[in-house]
Amino acid sequence: MRFCQIGVGRIGSLHAAHIADHPDCDLAYVIDRNDELAQAIAAKLGAQTAPIDAVLGDPGIDAVVIASSSASHDELIEAAARAGKAIFCEQPAGLSSKRTEAVLAVVSECGVPFFAALHRRFDPQIAAFKRRLDKGEIGKVEQLLITSREPMLPPIDYLRTSGGLFRDMMLHDFDLARWLLGEGPTEVYTAASVLVDPTLVSLGDVDTAIVTLKTRSGKLVQVNNSRRAVYGFDQRLEAFGSGGMLRMGNRVHDAVELSNAHGTSLSTPMRDMTARYREAFRLEFDAFVEALKTGKPPQPGPADARAAIQIADAATESMETGKPVAL
Amino acid sequence: MRFCQIGVGRIGSLHAAHIADHPDCDLAYVIDRNDELAQAIAAKLGAQTAPIDAVLGDPGIDAVVIASSSASHDELIEAAARAGKAIFCEQPAGLSSKRTEAVLAVVSECGVPFFAALHRRFDPQIAAFKRRLDKGEIGKVEQLLITSREPMLPPIDYLRTSGGLFRDMMLHDFDLARWLLGEGPTEVYTAASVLVDPTLVSLGDVDTAIVTLKTRSGKLVQVNNSRRAVYGFDQRLEAFGSGGMLRMGNRVHDAVELSNAHGTSLSTPMRDMTARYREAFRLEFDAFVEALKTGKPPQPGPADARAAIQIADAATESMETGKPVAL
Amino acid sequence: MRFCQIGVGRIGSLHAAHIADHPDCDLAYVIDRNDELAQAIAAKLGAQTAPIDAVLGDPGIDAVVIASSSASHDELIEAAARAGKAIFCEQPAGLSSKRTEAVLAVVSECGVPFFAALHRRFDPQIAAFKRRLDKGEIGKVEQLLITSREPMLPPIDYLRTSGGLFRDMMLHDFDLARWLLGEGPTEVYTAASVLVDPTLVSLGDVDTAIVTLKTRSGKLVQVNNSRRAVYGFDQRLEAFGSGGMLRMGNRVHDAVELSNAHGTSLSTPMRDMTARYREAFRLEFDAFVEALKTGKPPQPGPADARAAIQIADAATESMETGKPVAL
Amino acid sequence: MRFCQIGVGRIGSLHAAHIADHPDCDLAYVIDRNDELAQAIAAKLGAQTAPIDAVLGDPGIDAVVIASSSASHDELIEAAARAGKAIFCEQPAGLSSKRTEAVLAVVSECGVPFFAALHRRFDPQIAAFKRRLDKGEIGKVEQLLITSREPMLPPIDYLRTSGGLFRDMMLHDFDLARWLLGEGPTEVYTAASVLVDPTLVSLGDVDTAIVTLKTRSGKLVQVNNSRRAVYGFDQRLEAFGSGGMLRMGNRVHDAVELSNAHGTSLSTPMRDMTARYREAFRLEFDAFVEALKTGKPPQPGPADARAAIQIADAATESMETGKPVAL
């Protein structure tokens, strides 16, 4: 299978390397709005650069991996779908629920495979967490707490076109909640603040938020996000049920601990998101390739992309109106 | 100082023992609606039983400790205040914000010392947590997560007159939030369910809840409660700020751990609330006595009792209306 | 039962308070070579001071608790035994195996109850460890590692008459090893150094040591001691068997942890030995009283006192000769 | 650089893959006494098989990686050295100190680079431990405790030619002790037993051992080994010094923990040695290649190989004689 990698920033360059390494894949093209970067990575991985139209017009190309800026996803998906290419796309697919619906309608019409790159589902630790919930280790699940905090605020330029905290960052937590519980929310309430950088106020964005979800069966979910966590990348889970509690802690640098007169000091959580989710990024790509090979619809797919942005839109609306939003 | 202990259930009997042990105090009377129990404890601790009127009419009695059922607090406080006795009272003082206001107005008119028995503030571990926040160990606080889950649902008869989850149980978490942040909420939102025992539906009560608070300065608080936690009494804190994160775990039975082919297994959290907060119950009583000796107003006092029930009422209202409530 | 407390230093004053508090005991006398201290504590606890001969000659005295300096234990035991008093004695009973044999022979002749105050056996955490070993939770035990380190070197004056590291400090670890394994060693080897304070060289003592024990059935034990541990009082156990591993960690101040850019920092172990073993000291005294009341021989008794000093003597000999010593 | 991989068992096949992956290396030959296995791996990695003489006679071969059975190392090293090949060799180099001396003398005469594959030094966690000791984080080091236990007894056939517990397994712990302390032992004492499999008695081998080392400056080291650890591969370190304690725990499968009525259960340590030390095996190979490229003597080298087997021989002798052995 021949691939084109679109966008080779932090995550896109990882995908490019996975394509190049995969025994069943051939990385033919690399595209980025920074052409120099695209050429450098193409050269390193034995690929070439080309205009997007040329790539999509090349009948030898089977699939595209989209990891460009979030605001560009929608048009790239539509163009790729119309060109009959299989699509692997970072989330969200569109910057609103409405736009995402339109984009996925095109995907559906064109009948191309579509993979929603919700990588955390593939993290071995999170996957183990899911398996243990499904096996009933804590009985019937009643509450889920998701902590998700990034070490540093991204550049303001990035944030300007990101869709805001709930679509750019918490969307992944919303997907996890849905997937772990096997049930989506019917009610979404947001409490949010600008506590890290006042510049966000002028963007209509926030940097600190707690969102509560309630499902039809009454399960309660709390998600907290922050754009600042000086101690590292903080992504933890806690599920609570009729039979007990299941928790997932952070991945830390090492198991070395120092005890002195000031206390006992452990390693910090890993700071770098791509290092933390290294296996997840590889495993999700493997899953996409496997789906293409077997002809099964990739999982997670359009329904998951749609559900995640719907919750993110509801959380944004709740922030703006100060009221809970029904789904 | 001569004391009367009113109510000698689980917590009241602890207080009675503390009075009897304290070098500056004399336990003169023990009262309980279960007269046999009152007599047994009175006999054991060298006190006697008497009707409440006789006790309040005894000019030799300086103070009363009220630990009877929540529904009886209001009238007992009023009667004690009018009899000029110093008052130590389990919370809430009244089963609604309005009733509490009326009761505290009587306390204020009568000019008697009033101690709001919010014992967790006196727990050495929680007190250390507060000191470290106040020292700025995590910079400016931005988020606070409070987990508070009881091992088992109390008897339905108890719940019938308890005032409901938010006044009976989460009220203590609300007080902690206010005290730890040094700031009360201006907005309260509740998501709640009956997942443990469907009987609660007919009482208009819930057993599982997540409440979000937002303060004037934008700090966000999440409190989760459950009336069931098979693994023990689960009371944890997590504060998150510009300079780091401070967490408080559960107190566990011991530090013995077993590793075998199934994993590594640690001790459970302590199950018994009075054992978990043993020092706190003693220290709060000592603080009350110290305030009486020095003539300073007891802390926490009427303002704290009032604030806690206000938040609990708001959380109850939010549950009933499905909307956030402003304070 | 009427008691005399002999020696009211750090541990003796604890025992005095336990006697005074115990419903079945009466603290009649307090003796200490510091007469002022003895009088102060006697006054506080409602007892009196008297010369030792007067105390032992008082037929109303049932028992003595000996917690004076180690070098004084032997003669006090003999005198108390000849006066027909029940004896509770800090360990060692004599500063050598030979002297201990002689002392215990007197105890035996006089037929008085003798309790070897090896307090750690009564620590709830260590007792749980023992119960779990005995229940077979790790199968057949193969190795036992005992870590035992004190925060600070005791005063040199104390060390001068303490009997040396192996009799003063590691003796308690040796008793634990014997008790936990249900089997004593047949071979003892010591590697030791003076690394904390060179003054010890002139006393023929050491401050840092690792001792290996081997039992008849081939179980292996390692004990490490240090007279310096800046991070607190460090007493941990690790047993390893055919079915797993059982570990016991330190008791720490609290469960509060701080995460910042430098790592995650936990509470230190408790520093104070009497605080760490508070329950153990009370429970061992209760056990002594219970034995006196029921007429059963106190446990641990003479055989345990004898065995512990024998191993300590062997460890000392091994240090001096550089060779393993057979028992 | 062109390589030959000798021995493609569990560890050798890892090395073969590293050679094949390394941008500066070419895997030309694969040799194994199981020729079918050699051919399979050669085919997979684009290499070929050949008799050892042909390989050593091929002037295009720069280096050999020896990971065959321990008993075959010595002759292979001598032959490779005489053929002028650079040598990377699993440890020990010879099954006795004397044989190792002879082998290393040939290496020295021939002037070929020699890398002693003591992989644990390259483990990122152990390397961090070493860096922190060297930075003085615990002041002057006084004691070092090394725990090293394997999940299962290797096959008896393997053990027959392994050189025994101290040369096959504890040798790596001895190297760590020397490297971490920057000082070798002057005294070695062994206490050992056969507790896992009585068959070992007839081999003159043991399965359970505690060895004590003492260095010239008085530092004390304890190493414990077992050939059985049902809970996983257990390799931990604890260093203790004038300024504190540094500990290194096991690497565990994940950070998921379950709390239920039976306790809180954590993940076991990883069971598989090659998975546990995955990065270490790759990094040690990188270090070997880097040394060849820069012309610097590989580290660890002959002196480390010599020291490790000397301590292992002394530990074996101490086990046989029951006496400490001076070095």
Q: Are D191 and D224 in contact (CB under 8 A)?
A: no
Closest C-alpha among A237, A288, A52 to residue A133: A237
* Identity at A146, one-letter amino acid code: I
Whether residues D264 and B230 touch (CB distance < 8 A) is answered with no
Three-state DSSP class for residue D41:
helix
pLDDT in the model for residue B7: 98
**Which residues of chain B lie closer than 8 angstroms to C253, CB-CB?**
128
Q: Which residue of chain C has the CA closest to A261? A: C231
User: How far is Cα B115 from Cα B90, in angstroms, rounded to an integer?
Assistant: 9
pLDDT, tens digit, for every residue of C171-219? 999 999 999 999 999 999 999 999 999 999 999 999 999 999 999 999 9
In this prediction, the residues of chain C whose per-residue pLDDT falls under 70 are none
**Binding-site residues on chain D for chain A (CB distance < 8 A):** 124-125, 128-129, 132, 137-138, 243-261
Q: What is the pLDDT of residue A268?
A: 87
**Mean residue pLDDT across chain B:** 97
Give the residue carrying structure tokens 């000031």.
Answer: A262
> Pick from C125, C253, C260: which is nearest to B256 by CB?
C125
What residues of chain B lie within 8 A of the CB of A152, using their CB? none
How far CA B46 is from CA of B62, B63, C46, D112, in Å, comes to 18, 17, 20, 91
Assigned token pair, D165: 């517990």
What is the amino acid identity at position C275?
A
- In chain A, what are the domains? 2-118 (3.40.50.720), 121-279+302-326 (3.30.360.10)
Test C266 with A264 for CB contact under 8 angstroms: yes
**Chain C CB contacts of B20 below 8 Å:** none
Residue ranges, chain D, pLDDT below 50: none
Terminal alpha carbon distance of chain D: 40
Edge-to-edge strand ranges of the sheet holding C2-6: C26-31, C2-6, C63-66, C86-90, C114-117
Confidence at residue D268, expressed as pLDDT on a 0 to 100 scale: 87
Q: Closest-CA residue in chain A for B210? A: A220
DSSP C252-312: BS-SEEEEETTEEEEPPBP--HHHHTHHHHHHHHHHHHHHHHHTPPPSS-HHHHHHHHHHH
Neighbours of C227 (CB within 10 A): 24
Among C236, B195, A250, B254, smallest CA distance to D257 is for A250
Tokens 């004037």 belong to B216
On chain A, the residues whose CB falls within 8 A of the CB of D258 are 132, 137-138, 244-247
Residue among B231, B259, B263 minimizing CB distance to D259: B231
* Subunits adjacent to chain B (3 or more Cβ pairs under 8 Å): A, C, D
Residues in chain D whose beta carbon is closer than 8 A to a beta carbon of chain B? Answer: 230-232, 259-269
User: What DSSP line would sit under B257-283, residue for residue?
Assistant: EEEETTEEEEPPBP--HHHHTHHHHHH
Q: Say what the pLDDT of residue B43 is.
A: 97
Chain C residues touching B138 at Cβ < 8 A = 258, 260
pLDDT at B268: 87
pTM, two decimals, is 0.95
The residue count of chain A comes to 327
Burial class of D51 by CB neighbour count within 10 A (0 to 12, 13 to 18, 19+): exposed
The answer for D111, left when phi > 0, alpha when psi is -120 to 50, beta otherwise, is left
- What pLDDT is recorded for position C66? 98
Decide if D208 and C140 are in contact by the 8 Å CB cutoff.
no
Q: What is the mean pLDDT of chain C?
A: 97
Record: contact C266-A267, CB cut-off 8 A: no
**Partner-chain contact A264 C260, CB within 8 Å:** no
Find chain A residues with C-beta within 8 A of B209's C-beta: 220
Residues of D in contact with B266 (CB under 8 A): 263-266
Instruction: Verify whether the Cβ–Cβ distance D222 to C226 is below 8 Å.
Output: no
Write the ipTM.
0.95
Strands B256-260 and C244-248: antiparallel
CA distances from A134 to A129, A130, A239, C273 (A): 9, 6, 12, 47
Contacts of A321 (CB under 8 A, 6+ apart): none
Q: What is the pLDDT along chain A (327 residues), one digit of tens a residue?
A: 999 999 999 999 999 999 999 999 999 999 999 999 999 999 999 999 999 999 999 999 999 999 999 999 999 999 999 999 999 999 999 999 999 999 999 999 999 999 999 999 999 999 999 999 999 999 999 999 999 999 999 999 999 999 999 999 999 999 999 999 999 999 999 999 999 999 999 999 999 999 999 999 999 999 999 999 999 999 999 999 999 999 999 999 999 999 999 999 999 899 999 999 999 999 999 999 999 999 999 999 999 999 999 999 999 999 999 999 999
Give the DSSP letter of residue B252.
Answer: B
Q: Which of C196, C212, C234 sits opposite D191 (nearest CB)?
A: C212
Kindly provide the residue ranges of all beta strands, DSSP E only, lying in B8-120, ordered along the sequence: 26-31, 63-66, 86-90, 114-117
Pick among D228, D230, D259, D266 to test the B interface (most B CBs inside 10 A): D259
Q: Is the dihedral of CA B122, B125, B126, B130 positive or negative?
A: positive
Q: Which residues of B touch D254 (CB under 8 A)?
A: none
- Answer whether C192's CB lies under 8 Å from D189's CB: no
Q: Which of A243, A248, A258 sits opposite D246 (nearest CB)?
A: A258
